[in-house]
Amino acid sequence: MAENKTNKKIWLASPHMSDEGYEMQYVQEAFDTNWVAPLGPNVNEFENELAAKVGSKHAAALNSGTGAIHLALKAASVGGGDIVLCPTLTFSATANPIIYENAIPVFIDSDYETWNMDHKALEAALQKYGDKVKAVLVVHVYGLSADMDKIMEVCSKYNVTVIEDAAESLGAYYKGKHTGSFGEFGVFSFNGNKIITTSGGGMLVSNNEEKIKKVRFWSTQSRDAARHYQHSELGFNYRMSNVVAGIGRGQLKVLEQRVDKKKYIFEFYKRELGSLEGVEFMPINDWNEPNYWLSVMTLNGSVRPLDVMEALEKENIESRPVWKPMHMQPFFAEYDYVGSDVSEKLFENGVCLPSDTKMTYEDLERIYSIIKGLWSK
């Protein structure tokens, strides 16, 4: 489609570098000092800065959030035949690493209060599988935090390790504490569509220094301390490069700005669309300060999500359905699922609206009038 003033492409969420050019300054430094590879000062500083931001003691910079989940599972001693409880309403990257370790995912439904892991279904699964459960992976979907007090309480009762997949929730808080800092491990992603991006990358945080050191060791091919190449353990090539970490340091400086804009976008949609028949927005609990990564609404009336997505697509505007639950995915269909139909209903009725922080007020009005038009037909 040829682009002109009236059909300018609007993305769901795309990279947004700082106006100040912070990212280029750190990348330039890496070039000037030839710290292009492998590691270097940007990696160390990005780890320190990210850990400080989220209130965690230690961090390991990796080349993806998926890799961070994988090594978190290893660090939690998850192995073949162990069960890992995982929300069904998430991106497949949460669940795939469970399979990498030959462990068994059991999927847990969401609740309407949080859209995240339902603590009652979680407890039912822990009762059902007992000691076989080695870890619980909690996700903060769309930047909304899970109800961490309830989840931590259930997990400590059953003495099971908590890993938080905070890939979508950098900048989001639960009762004033950063998501990703509640469990033994927290995972962040800097993939291209996340609230800040390094083009691709991830971070594993923990207060356990030994475990983070071990993760750095595994992520750089598990090289023993010897002059020759010596390996006593299976290795991975999962480390972040110093150039990429430079982008991350620059992006971290504008995280609050990005959260503010995401919140503005959400509030615009809620104000303008919230009273249309059948429209509801994702739940904002008073104990949660989300990062509003994506603005998501559900439609329970005669206008369906597909109507909205098609109308926007015609005008060169990107929107998406809510995550298709893992227990409905052909690849994961053989695994157990605990819960009712909440995640299925959210998938059926949800639409992720354009949430790109580069959008102007005019862009938002354009989106609003296209969507609103569907109600006056």
Ligand X SMILES: *Cc1c(COP(=O)(O)O)cnc(C)c1O
CB-nearer residue toward ligand X: 47 or 165: 165
In the numeric block, which tokens belong to residue 210?
Answer: 């030994």
Count of other CB atoms within 10 angstroms of residue 344: 18
Q: Which of residues 55-74 bind ligand X (CB under 6 A)?
A: 64-66
Q: Which of 91, 173, 185, 218 binds ligand X (CB under 6 A)?
A: 91
Residue 191 binds ligand X, judged by CB under 6 A: yes
In the complex, the smallest distance separating the C-beta of residue 164 from ligand X, rounded to whole angstroms, is 10
How many positions of this chain bind ligand X (CB under 6 A)? Answer: 14
Q: How far is the CB of 350 from ligand X (least distance, A)?
A: 15
Using the contact rule CB under 6 A, the part of the chain among 4-12, 28-36, 97-105, 164-172 near ligand X is 164-172
Nearer to ligand X, 279 or 296 (CB): 296
Among 43, 54, 71, 93, binds ligand X (CB under 6 A): 93
Residue with smaller CB distance to ligand X, 30 or 139: 139
Query: Quick one: which of 168, 184, 289, 356 contacts ligand X (CB under 6 A)?
Result: 168
| C-beta closer to ligand X: residue 93 or 303 | 93
Whether the CB-CB separation of 170 and 188 falls below 8 Å is answered with yes
Nearest approach in angstroms of CB 232 to ligand X is 28
Give the residue, chosen from 42, 88, 94, 349, that forms a contact with ligand X under the rule CB under 6 A. Answer: 94
Mode of pairing for the β-strands spanning 133-139 and 161-165: parallel
Please, what is the Cα angle at 244 between 238 and 245, to 5 degrees? 90
Name which of 273 and 353 has its Cβ closer to ligand X.
353
Residues 6+ apart with CB under 8 A from 184: 76, 161, 162, 163, 206, 208, 211
To ligand X, the closest distance from the beta carbon of 211 in angstroms equals 19
**Residues contacting residue 131 through CB under 8 Å, at least 6 positions apart:** none
Residue 284 CB, shortest distance to ligand X, in Å, is: 19
Give min distance, CB of 94 to ligand X, in A.
Answer: 5
Q: Which of residues 136-155 bind ligand X (CB under 6 A)?
A: 139
The dihedral sign for the CA sequence 174, 239, 248, 65: negative
Q: Which stretch binds ligand X (CB under 6 A): 29-37, 91-99, 301-309, 363-371?
A: 91-99
Encoded one letter per residue, x for contact with ligand X by CB under 6 A and - for no contact, window 201-220 reads -x------------------
Question: CB 170 → ligand X: shortest distance, Å?
Answer: 11
**Residue closer to ligand X, measured from CB, 109 or 168:** 168
For ligand X, the closer of residues 146 and 254 by Cβ is 146
Query: Within 13 A of 253's CA, how many CA atoms are on the CB side?
Result: 16
Smallest gap from residue 62 Cβ to ligand X (A):
9
**Given the complex with ligand X, which of 303 and 322 has the nearer CB atom?**
322
Among positions 332-371, residues that touch ligand X (CB under 6 A) are none
Q: Print the binding letters for residues 120-139 with ligand X: x by CB under 6 A, - otherwise.
A: -------------------x
**Shortest Cβ contact with ligand X: which residue?**
65
- Contacting residues toward ligand X, per CB under 6 A: 64-66, 90-91, 93-94, 139, 165, 167-168, 189, 191, 202
